[in-house]
Amino acid sequence: MQKRKLGTSGLEVSAIGLGCMGMTGVYGDMPDRATMIDLTRKAVDLGVTLFDSAEAYGPWTNEELVGEALKPVRDQVVIATKFGFDIDQTTGERRGGANSRPDHVRQVTENALRRLGIETIDLLYQHRVDPNVPIEETAGAVKDLIAEGKVRHWGLSEASAATVRRAHAVLPVAALQSEYSLWYRGPEAEILPTLEELGIGFVPFSPLGAGFLTGKIDPATKFPEGDFRTMVPRFQGEALEANMALVALVKDVAARKNATPAQVALAWLLAQKPWIVPIPGTTKLHRLEENLGAVDVTLSPDDLREIDEASARLDLQGARLPEAVLALTNG
């Protein structure tokens, strides 16, 4: 597996990481825990070194799974997790909204270390910006945790360019994690130039558009009960039908490259910047192997130009998240 450095932080990881959120349910049925542990360990065997979790996934169950799965190979991997939602640290109750008060950040981090079974979190993200807490205060809290050896690097998620600058001025940010793919290219306007200027890595989540860019979803697809995509506007009705034009484009490129649509979508991301490390998630071994095969797909400058020009002509429709969730992504 190829390696990449997240900006100038010195943090080196596999060119493709593994997003672990779906291993504890968001796509309907809850996956089998033992199978997910085996899958995570298989990812290590295949060269993956970056594993992404969060206290909010569950809450808590995802960190426990990731910690158990990676315990035998702790010294070979980079474990990332997140704080930032207002979750009661005793009951696990979601109280709604964000919470990045320094005392809460410390409490969440201490609990995450225990659940993961590790002494230091390699990469600790603020999951969402808290509008009620200056980012400088949050950065200061994480700075203290780094000084104590409980955290190595920190990052932000779904933060604006302005917030990234303010945070980075207090404590150098190793990585920003936000949605980015051929289906959602919002970060290109301000985020990517800011990250390049400051030497910050970028970790795109949902690099396959929650499965859409695999080519396995169409207007006839019925998502299972509990699948979060049933609430996402871009997956609904006429919006989904309009968005199928992007899948057709990716499939066409994939056919010429003797690759799969998912591999082309990931290869496109890898080609954007050398400090971009996507974290596709999966619960299936064959999908894991397919995704990692993207590092062997080369898109030439002509290929990239063709994709950009063709996609610019498409009328993609529907918001990427429900309105209530989008309200938390404007930090």
Catalytic residues, by residue number, are 57
Distance set, CA 262 to CA 26, 57, 68, 75, 300 (Å):
20, 24, 29, 30, 17
Distance set, CA 77 to CA 14, 237, 284 (Å):
9, 41, 20
Q: Please, what are the domains in the chain?
A: 3-326 (3.20.20.100)
CA 323, CA 321: separation in Å to the nearest integer? 6
Q: 0.85 exceeded by the pTM?
A: yes
CA 131, CA 316: separation in Å to the nearest integer? 30
Whole-number pLDDT of residue 330: 66
H helix intervals, the chain: 33-45, 61-70, 102-116, 135-147, 161-170, 191-198, 237-257, 261-272, 285-292, 301-312, 323-326
**Residue-level pLDDT, tens digit, the chain, 331 residues:** 999 999 999 999 999 999 999 999 777 788 999 999 999 999 999 999 999 999 999 999 999 999 999 999 999 999 999 999 999 999 999 998 999 999 999 999 999 999 999 999 999 999 999 999 999 999 999 999 999 999 999 999 999 999 999 999 999 999 999 999 999 999 999 999 999 999 999 999 999 999 999 999 999 999 888 888 989 999 999 999 999 999 999 999 999 999 999 999 999 999 999 999 999 999 999 999 999 999 999 999 999 999 999 999 999 999 998 887 777 776 7
Q: Which among 218, 205, 233 has a CA at the least distance from the CA of 50?
A: 205
